[in-house]
Amino acid sequence: MFSKILIANRGEIACRIIRTARRMGVATVAVYSDADAGSMHVAMADEAVRIGPPPVAESYLDGERIVAAALMTGAEAIHPGYGFLSENPDFVDRVVNAGLIFIGPSATSIRAMGLKDAAKRLMEKAGVPVVPGYHGEAQDIVLLASKATEIGFPVLIKARAGGGGRGMRRVDHADDFAEALSSARREAKAAFGDDRVLVEKYVEKPRHIEVQVFGDNYGNVVHLFERDCSAQRRHQKVIEEAPAPGMTDEMRAAMTEAAVTAAKAISYSGAGTIEFIVDASQGLRPDRFWFMEMNTRLQVEHPVTEMITGVDLVEWQLRVAYGEALPKRQDEIELDGHAFEARLYAEDAAKGFLPATGTLHHLWFPDEPAPGTSLRVETGVREGDTISPFYDPMIAKLVVHGPDRETALDALGDMLAETEIAGSTVNTAFLAALAADPDFAAGDVDTGLIGRKQDALTAIPEPSEGFVTAAALAVSGLSETASPDDPWSALAGYAHFHAAPKRVALRYGEQEIRAAVSVVNGKTEIALIPAPLSPPHKGMGDSEAPRLSEKETHESKRSASSLWGGVRGGGNPPPRLARWPGHITIFDGPVSYMFSVPDPLERAEEAGGGADSLRAPMPGLVKVVRAAVGDTVAKGQPLLVLEAMKMEHTIAAPHDGVVAEIATEGSQVTDGATLVRFAEAGE
């Protein structure tokens, strides 16, 4: 076995590979950009080498630097993980030419499957069914549009290189084809350096079912059953499961046979995935599935396959790359139970799954499974780490296994409900809503499920009065939730002659909340006051704050114990919460409510007004500008396209107005930077 390998990746997959390598007695070398100098994968590895600044083109995509790092540290092989250089045949050639071993398929196999159009032509020759469409070389817009008309709308425009939903657009009408093609090409060029596309028939009730295959250097190829990845948003997987719900023996035999045939057609060695699109309008039928593409690498969702087969796929990768035969024959691989994986991202599901950044001030995952189930957390971050705008915003993959689908799904719901993250907007509540959706729970899922129910799945209920009160109490310092580092918290609210209420201010979204907290006869009482809180004068302390009127106090006064069953023992426990700089996060199962503690001076500045503007939701590159100064725009009208975290995000007008200023095309903007300023009255 190898004595030392270099991992040409970052985040959770780098950590995942390190764990298996360590168990096998293989030393590891991590590589890192400046943004990842203090990251988890760097800390876990035996050695680490800096390879450049944060942009991926200058670090994780710099094959020359990565190979040099391997040679410098004495590594014998390079594991690419997934993404970055994992499916780059030129990188494989560079590794091999340097006298190193690439832990993955040959450059020839990657080239054969790397371009979707060529791969589909190859699969047709091998007898594997493919989706009807245009897979040719010509890229003239008139030709592509005519082919789309021949195929029949709706059609799917797909980048011929790469994956992950990038460079992919559904087109329902001929009038929309040109705009969708332009957008797909831009995104494909930015993500893969190749803007060529193919056009395929869009399947109306599609399911995405893929088969895990594994080959060695001796002509052996096996499958490790299927995964269902139909729960997708924006063509990116959200919750994956194995096996596929509703799978029949006949359908499984046909799909796995086609997958093994596809792998053998290119003499495949290593871990790979054959992805099929399935027409589920009449259930799962052997004549209703078609080859989409092959991913010549380890998949993000590989843990669900490991959970149902008991196989460590990374260990198999190392053994096969070292020259060993496959550890098991096909008849030795058994399917046991059911597994789910949920992808936990820093993103705002309610705002179109907009990626988020931030520091993970509080991070906790459950580690005790329910009886008869098992769980694992795949992550590359720790509490205190920052979600960078330079890379994919994944926080963790939550994986569960149970004896059957219902039990496993219940375990996933429990795991999501117990997970706590504060410091960034996350999609935990959305994942829990999807897992609890009646159609998903019944296994009636297709790639359009999330789109059809997006509003319901991403809706967050308003925080209850009890949660608002809990946040106010935590800010006041008059409870056990006060910071243990505050030596004066024990005296907070004390008055010798009268009960002086402590005034606190909170903000939830755009709503400002004020409350008064006091201790009367040993009992904590809270008055929530609906009226707006005017900014206090500079230097005003709690003792100088205006007193609550008797009417205000009696209208909303509540005993803390009456709201959640007692703060200091007795009844139900208080809500779970996390305090972090300037904020309180309250957890209600998978839902989290973030309250901020406004700075009085900031409130005063905001009250002073300012131009009506539209700000950048994250750092990024202004890719396209669709309006000019002086234009009259309508609410919802696209104004510009922001490229961030490897995806394009359309920024639309929040209301009707006239553009007074707008960012320039090609400009790099920071989080919160003004993108558009609207003219004020009379301007």
Instruction: Output Rg (C-alpha) for the chain, integer angstroms.
Output: 28
Beta strands 338-345 and 101-102: pairing type? unpaired
303: preceding bond cis by omega (within 30 degrees): no
What distance in Å separates the CA atoms of residue 388 and residue 385, rounded to the nearest whole number?
A: 9
Listed in sequence order, the residues at least 6 apart from 26 whose beta carbon sits closer than 8 Å to its beta carbon are 1, 2, 3, 4, 5, 318
CB atoms within 10 A of CB 601: 11
Residue 199 backbone dihedrals phi, psi, to 5 degrees: -125, 130
Q: How does DSSP classify residue 630?
A: T
| Residue 436, Cβ density class (10 Å: 0-12 exposed, 13-18 middle, ≥19 buried) | middle
What distance in Å separates the CA atoms of residue 414 and residue 436, rounded to the nearest whole number?
A: 11
In 3D, which of 224, 216, 229 has the Cα closest to residue 252?
224
What distance in Å separates the CA atoms of residue 443 and residue 495, rounded to the nearest whole number?
A: 61
Point out the catalytic residue in the list 207, 227, 297, 503. Answer: 297
- Catalytic status, residue 65: no
Q: How does DSSP classify residue 456?
A: H
Amino acid at 468: V
Q: Judge contact between 113 and 92, C-beta under 8 A.
A: no
Return left, alpha or beta for 585; rule: phi > 0 is left, psi -120 to 50 is alpha, else beta: beta
- The token duo for 313 is 């796929």
List, in sequence order, every beta strand (DSSP E) within 153-260. Answer: 155-159, 168-171, 197-201, 206-215, 221-233, 236-242
Q: Judge contact between 208 and 192, C-beta under 8 A.
A: no
Describe the chain by its helix, strand, coil percentages, rounded to 5.
30, 30, 40
Q: Judge contact between 256 and 110, C-beta under 8 A.
A: no
Amino acid at 294: M
Q: How far is CA 501 from CA 261, 498, 529, 530, 632, in A?
A: 75, 9, 13, 16, 50
What distance in Å separates the CA atoms of residue 524 and residue 123, rounded to the nearest whole number?
A: 71
Locate all alpha helices (DSSP H) within 348-437, ordered by sequence: 405-418, 428-436
| Residue 495, Cβ density class (10 Å: 0-12 exposed, 13-18 middle, ≥19 buried) | exposed
- The token duo for 561 is 């114990």
Longest dimension (CA), the chain: 92
**Catalytic sites, residue numbers:** 297
